Amino acid sequence: MTTLERPIPTTRSDQKKSSGQPVVVLLVLLVAVVVSVAVGCAVGELAGGRAPVAACLVPVVLVPIAIWKRPVLGFYTILAGTAVVEQFTYTVGPRNGAITDRIPFFHSVSPGIGVTAAEVLLFFTCVVYGLQQIRDRQPILPRSRLARCIAVFLVVVLVYLVVGLAHHGSFKIAMWEIRPWFYLAGMYVLGSAFVTTKRSLMTVLWIYVLGTGAKALYGVEIWLSIRHVSPRPEAILAHEESFFFGLFVVITIGLWIFSIKGRLRTTATMLLPFVLLADMANTRRTAWAILGACLLIVFAVAYARLPDRRQTLRRIAFVSVAVAAVYVPAQWNHDGTLAQPVRALRSQIAPDTRDEQSDQYRQAEDANLELNIRASRSLGAGFGRPIDYALPIVNLESIDAFIAYIPHDGVLYVWMRMGVIGELAFLAVIGSAVLAAGTLTKDRDPLMGLLGTVVTCAVVAYVIMGAQDMGFFWFRIALCVGGLLGAVEAAGRETRTPTDREVRVS
């Protein structure tokens, strides 16, 4: 029996706590926004007064006080930030993007320092958790195949940080490059420590359903405001939303497939049409590769795990194929919002001018990455060193300053930075994560089956996003994947005593 399989008491007091869960999650989201804005404003004032060191002391002093008694709130707040706050600001044609992109959660707290509010919160939550574990004489780090793979990969990352700096790499750029890997590891440790009951797992699901649903509603509002703008903006939301919208769809379908009833399923189902509309309006081709792969995984898991529903699943598959047989030809020559899934498919066969230019750029980029890999003899060039674009390519540095160091294809990027050793270490992390989550899908507990399915899809989506759209560099995705892997770690761990479990979630 796994940790999360332990039955939670169903007394009236527990039912009251469970019924108030959405309110708690909303408060966490509100706290995340308010704290981020408050810290950002304070930091801005202090930094404007040429006191960057004092500016850094604001979060350093406030965060430990806020999370000392309940460090799990630090974990939940980070998850809420990943769901609703963009990593970079952006514009949508003549208007600004979502107002959440100006919340200074993933921005440097002061120019030149390179420290973000999110990592300050992550660091101190980890420190508080570690100190409490030492106080209670409990192990700090998980002990599993996945934990060992992550540890080995981080060692390789540190080695190639040194290699890059030894070859005159930029320290500032190198630190930006490696931090997503450490974000993932930090959230993995916290997730394994805090997501140890069904209630805590449901809280995580609520955070993503409400956060992503709110972002979808905002996206629909932006889409309505620019529908008649000419030329039409290419996107309405950040790149990372492709990942989160896909995850939302998996959670919603999973709640139905595994017959997990309640307010969460009702809320997710009501928000689903807005999520799908926002995903289409965002016009990201990667979104449909993610969603297609995730739906196949959900179908395969459900078909293997629920033999009594195979006939229903076959009917759903038949109806889906029939609808696609009508929808795809009808929308093949269209480029409107509702045609975006077909456009993503058509771009692989007969791309329009925009898609063709994007494909040509990425092909040239990949060719340059391969030359860089050969130049280092597949041993890795290290972090912080600019990519050597020996072959002609369009210069996009005016649009994205990081493009000189971080390409779209993250798989080749890992190989270029850390050589064959780093690539194998990273693939070991991915393989161990899929194995751990896949094993959980076989659990008899429906909630465990849902968790295993969601995390399997999240890891696959992470790899797709990483291979196609800089997904390994997006902080939000790294933090989300780390937290979910931690939940799988907690679910697969040996059972604890009830008292121990309460200490973990306090």
**Cα 167–chain centre separation:** 32
pLDDT of residue 17: 43
* Cross-strand bridge partners of residue 219: none
Q: What is the DSSP letter of 494?
A: P
Residue whose entry in the numeric block shows the structure tokens 């926002």? 278
CA-closest candidate to residue 4, choices 491, 437, 368: 491
* Cross-strand bridge partners of residue 91: 96
CA-closest candidate to residue 500, choices 147, 197, 281: 197
Q: How far apart are CA 454 and CA 456, in angstroms?
A: 6
DSSP string covering 301-352: HHHHH-GGGHHHHHHHHHHHHHHHHHHHHHHTT--SGGGHHHHHHHTTTS--
Instruction: Identify whether the C-beta of residue 4 lies closer than 8 Å to the C-beta of residue 445.
Output: yes
Burial of 34 (0-12, 13-18, 19+ CB in 10 A): exposed
Instruction: Identify whether the C-beta of residue 426 lies closer than 8 Å to the C-beta of residue 290.
Output: no
Here the tokens at position 262 are 């309640």
CA-closest candidate to residue 88, choices 476, 481, 480: 476
- 217 by DSSP, 3-state: which? helix
Instruction: Look up the pTM and report it.
Output: 0.86
Q: How far apart are CA 370 and CA 377, in angstroms?
A: 10
- Which DSSP helix (H) or strand (E) runs through 96? strand 95-96
In tens digits, what is the pLDDT along the chain, a chain of 506 residues? 444 544 433 333 343 444 345 545 554 545 444 454 445 554 444 444 444 444 444 554 566 677 788 889 899 999 999 999 999 888 898 888 888 888 888 987 666 667 888 998 899 899 889 988 998 899 989 989 999 999 999 999 999 999 999 999 999 999 999 999 999 999 999 999 999 999 999 999 999 999 999 999 999 999 999 888 888 888 999 999 999 999 999 999 999 999 999 999 999 999 999 999 999 999 999 999 999 999 999 999 999 999 998 999 999 999 999 999 999 999 998 888 899 999 999 988 888 888 888 899 999 999 999 999 999 999 999 999 999 999 999 988 888 888 999 999 999 999 999 999 999 999 999 999 999 999 999 988 999 999 999 999 999 999 999 999 999 999 999 999 999 999 999 998 743 334 444 333 33
Residue whose entry in the numeric block shows the structure tokens 């210069």? 395
pLDDT of residue 21: 52
Cα torsion 112, 117, 119, 125 to 10°: value is 140
CA 17 vs CA 11, 191, 503: distances in Å: 10, 21, 18
Phi, psi (rounded to 5 degrees) for 437: -70, -40
Here the tokens at position 445 are 């507990």
Instruction: Identify whether the C-beta of residue 180 lies closer than 8 Å to the C-beta of residue 472.
Output: yes
Here the tokens at position 290 are 């993610």
pLDDT of residue 301: 95
CA-closest candidate to residue 390, choices 409, 417, 365: 365
* Cross-strand bridge partners of residue 92: 95
- Ramachandran category for residue 112: left, alpha or beta (phi over 0 → left; psi -120 to 50 → alpha): left
pLDDT of residue 2: 46
Burial of 370 (0-12, 13-18, 19+ CB in 10 A): middle
pLDDT of residue 281: 94
